């Protein structure tokens, strides 16, 4: 027995030696030739087919979608059967996601057909001997199955794997909040114009203070949109929807954006228009957004002088005026060179519903503004901004939601007073929320409610005072107003 082992050992050693010599001295072409034909020869006797899914394809820039889907699919499968697993942080950094470790093998079965998955890696030495990059390891998954099931596997099983894998990825992924920075700040190695952090805003529709009917309508609208892929394809429309949220400051526009993203499980791209150099850059940013996302432009009326640019073009009449205004524009542009954004209204309109906007699909575009009347009608017409949502001052219904959230109160004797005062005064949900917030451990519900009542009374008084002043100013018999008019006239004539 010992002799047999010794003989076998020496045979293996000789074989390795011969192989090493062949590798070193046999020309590369000859080796390729042997490898090619040995694979073909094997094909006659070996009844199995193998499909490889490489992590990086092409120029190693982008992680392969197929690899990611297979990885996710196998993570669910392998956590049950594989013996060696890898663990990574999943959604919200709270749970661990398991996947199979290198060279691990798991079996799977589909419609009675058995298949094997193996995770593997190959090291690719750099092509040039003086390459700057170190040796890289490329990971891949290999799927093996009997050749008589070729059709079942390629036509149905792979579809099933990719579909399930994508679903698992959506469930496990950490949602991201992206933002863009001015172009000159990107390091040259960066491949994307967006930078991101994990999106962790806790707002939901449940915690939002608004009329229940309106809330329900918005939720249904969003859910219908997210399930309407086939419908949009049928009517020949890109799968996207525009929302315009408008209303005074502190009425919950930004909060609603977070609630929308949380409801649909979407990423958020917070686009800072003033940091975008020109229309071309705007288009590039759009192309780099993924599906299942919201593109948000906050305070669209302040972002750029979009309406002004259009007016300038139409109002000019005489040649002299045109020349004058051109000079003014040139002067202003020279002054602002480098710092200003050259995004135009037409660039933005194209961004929203031009040909490029159709790539990717399943996207919401959300604008917020405090002054809806300042916006160009073309920008917010239906089809671009399909749904206009007004967020207004806090109603009593809204207050009840906040009281439940902040104080865990559904009913209280002070509610009647609050209801009466709220009907007389305008107060934003942000102000109500601030008053209901306990400021010290000693603050109980009653104290918070009395804070709110005081704030409402103060607001009421202020509104009454302002009203009186307005009446006085507009009264023609009022001495003060007559005097101030005379003063103005004198100033003008001087
Ligand atoms: N409808 C609401 N429901 C619940 N909380 C609200 C609501 N509106 C405002 N708040 C509270 O007020 C704060 C400010 O609201 P938010 O930032 O959403 O206002 P906004 O409308 O975006 O204001 P702005 O126009 O100034 O950007 C939030 O932190 C939130 O807690
Ligand atoms: Mg806001």
Q: Where are the domains of the chain?
A: 48-123+135-174, 177-313+340-390, 396-482
pLDDT value of position 134: 53
What's the confidence (pLDDT) of residue 430? 95
CATH number, domain 177-313+340-390: 3.40.50.300
Q: Return phi, psi of residue 153, to 5°.
A: -70, -50
Question: And the tokens for 390?
Answer: 């007004």
What is the Å distance from ligand 1's center to 209 Cα? 9
- What's the Cα-to-Cα distance from 425 to each of 53, 61, 422, 454, 485, rounded to whole Å? 64, 58, 5, 12, 32
Give pLDDT, residue 313.
41
> What's the CA-to-centroid distance between 202 and ligand 1, angstroms?
13
What's the pLDDT at 309?
45
> pLDDT at position 311, please?
44
CB atoms under 10 Å from CB of 275, counted, come to: 18
For the chain, which residues score pLDDT lower than 70?
Answer: 1-2, 58-62, 79, 89-95, 124-136, 183-192, 304-341, 475-494
Ligand closest to Cα of 371 equals: 1
- Tell me the CA–centroid distance for residue 243 and ligand 1, in Å: 17
Distance (Å, whole) CA 176 – CA 197 = 6
Burial class (CB in 10 A: 0-12, 13-18, 19+), 116: middle
Q: Which atom of ligand 1 is nearest to the CA of 208?
A: 3
Q: Are 348 and 282 in contact (CB under 8 A)?
A: yes
Task: Look at ligand 1, atom 7, and give the residue with the nearest C-alpha.
Answer: 252
Q: What is the pLDDT of residue 386?
A: 92
- Residue 310 is predicted with a pLDDT of 43
Residue nearest to atom 16 of ligand 1 (CA): 252
Q: What distance in angstroms lies between residue 448's CA and the mean position of ligand 2's atoms?
A: 25
How high is the pLDDT of residue 326?
55
Q: What is the pLDDT of residue 307?
A: 46
- Cβ(48)–Cβ(146) under 8 Å? yes
Distance 258 CA to ligand 1 centre (A): 11
Q: Which atom of ligand 1 is nearest to 430's Cα?
A: 12
Residue 210 Cα: closest atom of ligand 1: 1
Residue with CA nearest ligand 1 atom 30: 430
Residues in contact with ligand 1 (CB, 6 Å cut-off): 208-210, 249-255, 370, 429-430, 433
pTM: 0.69
Question: Which residues fall inside 5 Å of ion ligand 2, going by CB?
Answer: 253-254
Best probe residue, ligand 1, of 205, 396, 429 (max atoms within 8 Å of C-beta):
429
Q: Tell me the best of 250, 270, 406 to mutate to test the pocket of ligand 1, counting ligand atoms within 8 Å of each CB and taking the most.
A: 250
List the end-to-end C-alpha distance of the chain, in Å, as a whole number.
123
Q: How far, in Å, is the centroid of ligand 2 from the Cα of 457?
A: 26
Q: How many CB atoms lie within 10 A of CB 292?
A: 19
Q: What is the pLDDT of residue 294?
A: 94
Find out whether 480 and 472 touch, Cβ atoms under 8 Å.
Answer: yes
Q: Quick one: which atom of ligand 1 is closest to the CA of 245?
A: 21
At 60 the pLDDT is: 54
Is this complex scored with an ipTM above 0.95? Answer: yes
Cα 184 to chain center, whole Å?
A: 23
Task: State the chain's mean pLDDT as an integer.
Answer: 80
What is the Cα–Cα distance from 9 to 4, expressed in whole angstroms? 9
Q: What is the whole-number distance in angstroms between the Cα of residue 391 and the centre of ligand 1?
A: 10
What is the residue with the minimal CA distance to atom 24 of ligand 1? 249
């Amino acid at each position: 027995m010992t002799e047999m082992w010794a003989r076998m050992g020496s045979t293996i050693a000789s074989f390795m030696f011969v192989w090493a010599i062949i590798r070193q001295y046999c020309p590369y072409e000859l080796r390729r030739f042997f490898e090619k034909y040995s694979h073909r020869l094997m094909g006659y006797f070996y009844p199995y087919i193998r499909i490889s899914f490489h992590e990086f394809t092409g120029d190693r820039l982008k992680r392969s979608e197929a690899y990611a889907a297979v990885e996710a699919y196998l993570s669910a499968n392998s956590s049950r059967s594989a013996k060696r697993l890898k663990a990574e942080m999943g959604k919200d950094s709270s749970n661990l996601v398991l996947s199979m470790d290198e060279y691990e093998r798991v079996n799977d079965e589909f419609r009675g057909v058995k298949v094997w998955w193996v995770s593997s890696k190959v090291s690719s030495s750099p092509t040039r001997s003086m390459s700057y990059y170190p040796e890289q390891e490329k990971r891949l998954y290999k799927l093996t199955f009997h050749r008589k099931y070729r059709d079942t596997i390629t036509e149905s099983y792979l579809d099933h794997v990719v579909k399930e894998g994508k679903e698992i990825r959506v469930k496990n992924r950490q949602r991201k909040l992206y933002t863009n920075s001015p172009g000159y700040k990107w390091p040259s190695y960066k491949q994307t114009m967006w930078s991101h952090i994990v999106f962790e805003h806790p707002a939901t529709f449940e915690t939002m203070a608004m009329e229940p009917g309106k809330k329900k309508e918005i939720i249904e609208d969003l859910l219908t949109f997210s399930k309407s892929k086939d419908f949009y394809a049928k009517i020949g429309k890109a799968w996207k929807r525009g929302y315009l949220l408008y209303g005074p400051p502190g009425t919950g526009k930004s909060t609603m954006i977070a609630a929308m993203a949380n409801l649909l499980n979407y990423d958020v791209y917070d686009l800072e228009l003033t940091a975008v150099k020109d229309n071309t850059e705007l288009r590039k940013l759009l192309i780099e957004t993924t599906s299942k996302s919201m593109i948000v432009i906050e305070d669209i009326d302040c972002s750029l002088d979009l309406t002004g640019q259009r007016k300038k073009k139409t109002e000019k009449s005489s040649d002299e005026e045109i020349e004058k205004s051109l000079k003014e524009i040139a002067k202003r542009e020279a002054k602002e060179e480098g710092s200003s954004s050259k995004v135009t209204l037409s660039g933005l309109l194209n961004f929203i519903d031009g040909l490029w906007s159709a790539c990717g699909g399943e996207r919401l575009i959300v604008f917020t503004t405090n002054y809806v009347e300042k916006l160009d009608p073309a920008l917010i017409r239906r089809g671009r901004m399909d749904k206009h949502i007004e967020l207004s001052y806090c109603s009593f219904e809204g207050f009840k939601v906040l009281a439940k959230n902040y104080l865990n109160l559904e009913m209280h004797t002070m509610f009647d007073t609050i209801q009466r005062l709220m009907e007389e005064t305008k107060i934003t949900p942000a102000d109500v929320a601030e008053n209901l917030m306990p400021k010290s451990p000693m603050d109980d519900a009653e104290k918070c409610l009395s804070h709110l009542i005081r704030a409402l009374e103060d607001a009421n008084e202020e509104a009454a005072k302002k009203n009186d002043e307005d009446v006085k100013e507009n009264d023609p018999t009022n001495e003060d107003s007559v005097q101030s008019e005379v003063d103005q006239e004198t100033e003008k004539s001087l």
